[in-house]
Homo-oligomer: A and B are copies of this chain.
Amino acid sequence: MFYDLTVVQFTKMLNNLNSFLDKGAAFAETKKIDVNVLLNSRLAPDQFNLIRQVQIACDTAKLGVARLTGKVESAPVHADTETSLPELKARIQSVLDYLAGFSADDFAGAAERQVSQPRWEGKYLTGYEFAIQHAVPNIYFHVTTAYAILRHNGVDLGKKDFLGSLPYKN
């Protein structure tokens, strides 16, 4: 279940985020505005801008899976230097490629693993707590915030863009 909750769903959300950016780029072109205006937008002066929301969504996916599976050393390193749309999309693709290398078997023991981050100063959560209470809420938070920044600026996004396709059955 952890694999579906994280790798599969984070992959879907990063692909959706990629589509938000494409819709933003198309909107900017139609409106004849610089797409960088959107990339540097934020909803409050002390909120991270769209570029940073995308970077954090990527890190939440990448490091969430890496920490749950005990493979932090294998994660690609990103210096948070993206300033353009192509660079942001490449960042997303890099994480998608990384996630594609995981399988459900990699999550054996993940629930009991002690997961920590540098900013937690030595404290930890179990993998079970980390996945449910930290990684999952965080990725949706940053993808929704990216969505909201674009939505606020007029980009035509809706709930279906956020959820992506669902496997409805008859």
Interface SS of A by simple majority = helix
- Total count of chain A residues near the partner, CB < 8 A: 40
A5: nearest chain-B partner, CB-CB: B132
Residues of B contacting A168 in the complex (Cβ-Cβ under 8 angstroms)? 120, 123-125
In the complex, 20 of the A-B residue pairs with CB atoms within 8 angstroms, ordered by the A residue number, are A1-B1, A1-B132, A43-B148, A43-B152, A44-B151, A120-B168, A122-B170, A124-B168, A125-B166, A125-B167, A125-B168, A129-B166, A133-B163, A133-B164, A133-B167, A137-B140, A140-B144, A141-B159, A141-B162, A152-B152
Listed in ascending order, the chain A residues whose CB lies under 8 Å from chain B are 1, 4-5, 9, 12-13, 43-44, 47, 120, 122-126, 128-129, 132-134, 136-138, 140-141, 144-145, 148, 151-152, 154, 159, 162-164, 166-170
